[in-house]
Chains A and B, each alone.
Chain A
Amino acid sequence: MYGASVDDVKHDEKEDAGKMAAFEARIARGEKIEPGDWMPAEYRKQLIRMISQHAHSEIVGMLPEGAWITRAPSLKRKLILLAKVQDEAGHGQYLYHAAETLGISREEMVEMLLTGAAKYSNIFNYPTLNWADIGTIGWLVDGAAIMNQTMLARCSYGPYSRAMVRICMEENFHKKQGQEQVILLSQGTPSQQKMMQDAITRWWWPTLMMFGPHDTDSPNSPLLVRWGIKTRSNDELRQDFVNQMAPDLMALGLELPDPDLRLNEETGNWDFGAINWDEFWRVVKGDGPMNAQRMAARRKAHDDGLWVREALAAYAERQARLN
């Protein structure tokens, strides 16, 4: 009935307002929200967006590093890199499961990645051009990811928070092996030093872009802060990263491609030059150096694997019939 439904809506709105207040109070008390709990539709939507984007980043992120497993210059490095890329796959799996607790399936998420409806970290749209890129990705890219993930480990959604705690532990190992390699190469033979400098020059700015747009251009941020999903802003995290990395890299004799980079004695921060946001948005919109290849590789794996997944489904069905 029309009237009743109007009443229902009112009733729902009233209930929602109450539920919303209770929900926000729980977050303010530092409680975790768990899968069966009431949550605003927008909270669910934002988390699905963030967690699936994070999972996709792990999966696409296997490609640039994976390309160097077969070329790693020692058995020890090959073993470390293989184990690392395997970890990334494991993180992807773990994160897809975390997102599934919000009522979306892995198949739906993968579909969104393959059609371009879902994003993944921009950084993986840059190519890996020499062996030193592997150490650089470990120290800089994983280092930047850890800063973001350490924040997310404290986020209000239980499954995401717990996934981040576990993932951060492994990422810290990834960062350490990267740092070890950058130190080794920067102090190595002239050709090793050259490849190391080349890698740092190419990866420095894209790594800073990993923290996302300026706070003023980040439409989702205020809501995410209020709901305890993000607890620090993009610009704050980026500044922390520069403060940590710039002196360490320069101490190794590496040059950073930013003439404006200098320690500000007053603030204690390392000031840095303007980020090329045109490039950032271009890459986000699909026009980066490797967007097309990355997506082509994912689509090919998906298409080539179709007959395998069909066989698995048919076999499972057959077994169910027999039992």
Chain B
Amino acid sequence: MQFYKSDLLKYISGSISDADLIEKLTELGLEVEQSKKEKNDLLIKLDLTPNRGDCFSLIGIARDVCAMNNSKLKLPKFKKQKQNLDSKKTVAIDKRACSSYQGQIIKLKSKGIIPAYIKKTLKAADIGQVNPIVDITNYIMLHTGQPLHAFDNKKIGKKIYVKFPSKRTKLKLLDGASHEISKDYLTISDEKKIIALAGIMGCANSEVDETTQEIFLESACFEPASIRGNARKLGFQSEASLRFERGVDREIQEYAINFAGQLYAEIFGGEFSTIFKQSRQHKAKKIMISKEFIDSRLGTEIPATKIIKLLKALEFKVESKRNLMELTYPSHRYDIEIKEDVIEEIARIIGYDNLPNKRLKLLASCPENASIEKEMLSKDIFVNAGFNEVINYAFVDSSFIQMLGLNNDPIELTNPMSSNQDIMRPSLLPGLLNNFEYNFNRGTQRFKIFEAGNVFSKEESWKSLAGLLFFDKSSSDWSGSHQSSFFDLRKSLDMFFSRLNIEPAYKKASINHLHPGLSAEIKLKTKSIGNIGVLHPAIQKKLKLPNIVLFEINLDSIKLPKINSIAQPPKFPGSERDLSFLVSVEIPASDFIKELKKAGGTNLRSVSVIDVYQGKGIDESQKSMTFRLFWQASGTTLEDKEVDLFVANQINHAAKIFKAKLRS
């Protein structure tokens, strides 16, 4: 809603400075989106919330300002025009959809010329001039909030029906476009045809123009429920539908038609018929509310007299009944339905800044959400490990996903912003790869980035955590200690798992987007929880990317660590042995270690790999692995003989399981 201050001041007594008015409007909840000084006036643009349909009119806005000012709304009175035009019309309405319909036939005596003040009001509201007949209807709508419609009376019949059509119908509206409407559209019809979509727009078949000599002026109240959404379905919104969807004052129809009568008489000169009326008895809504309830919800002590005065200024009817107030809602406020709505009115007029504040003492104790905690912990760990967090959009390009081979039944958006954001991400990796490309092209040479967030398939969504590692060779410095191999990223992941107190296994696997020899599936017991590896060389080539290492794990499949007891470390000295085995290159170290542990007795504390060798001196199908084993008992010093026994056992076991030979 956009208007000049001078138009608003017609309804307000006393003067008010520009700054004061803007502040008042804002405090009333009528947000001033823009204000602009123009000549001796101020152009104000309000950003109205959808509940305040009544403020799509100057009178409505002025009413609020007056209530806050504690002054009386200045409402000009319009007399009925002399009704001596003998012309007849009958009106029949669907009373559920239309609470009141009033119409008057006006015979225009001359060609009207729109005065400057009307032009100014229309211009402020950004409503273009159409012709003098229509301009007057728009002018009155801006003042009263009542959309009027002028039909060319020669183009319509004697009978006017407000009704829903019996079948789908094609029609041409005033905007020149043809539309097909369903039976849900309330129409204004005569004996033969639809002449307007009620509350939305008139039809071309009854349009007024410069040559129109006699109009049928409609001032009606259509129910919001019968209008709502219908204009939008046709792809537009009209000034009328904007107001009817939010609710037009149920009692302003006659005021508006008389207002119009005066202007048509002034500008055109005219003869007027009687006003043809149909209406349903509208029972104004009432509610009982107590001062105590108001105070209990606002935390206030407001005197009852103040409440009553304030509500009356907003045109509520107030009757005191014992300890309660019986309120009758004003006819222009569709948004007020319950007690809390009344409380809002009181708070709004008093001003929220003037209400008290009180310390909340409530302490509710519910268990913390583990999933949020886990996400935060994961972020902490990776940030501490030197990773930079990124946050990507949750929608990605389906063709990119397909190219990466990540296609796990993605879920498509019906209305994406663009074709490269058409599906919900099934993985965080596309985002990380985009981040890589963006930053690599801008000169970043070292990448340790990660993201935590939801990923989606058609059936479910889960929390994912993914990371990317890449150091460009030219980024290395004199220390030469930075590398970005598979194992460098795995080290970070190992640390993460160890912080979460889990020990998943890395199993060789074939994963579409990863290098088959430099990748692993990450398994927790039998469950796959993610993967890690070097980006597949074929993808590297296609995307012109270097040797990037990536991982992604399903955070939902990991539990937060349980609290363990902390055991006292053994006090007695331990025993260390190194063993070298020759074994097939196919045997993973992790499997070998598992078997060494099995055969090493309960006092075997650790097994580490201190050397792996393949090459000269060893058959191609074999590798040499050297393990360092450490035994320690908790209650006694282990004797060499005991350890020898375990070692012998391990050598036999390894020979049996892996055909491993001890190297001398």
Q: Do chains A and B interact in one complex?
A: no
- Give chain A's interface residues, CB within 8 Å of chain B: none
Spell out B's residues near A (CB within 8 Å).
none
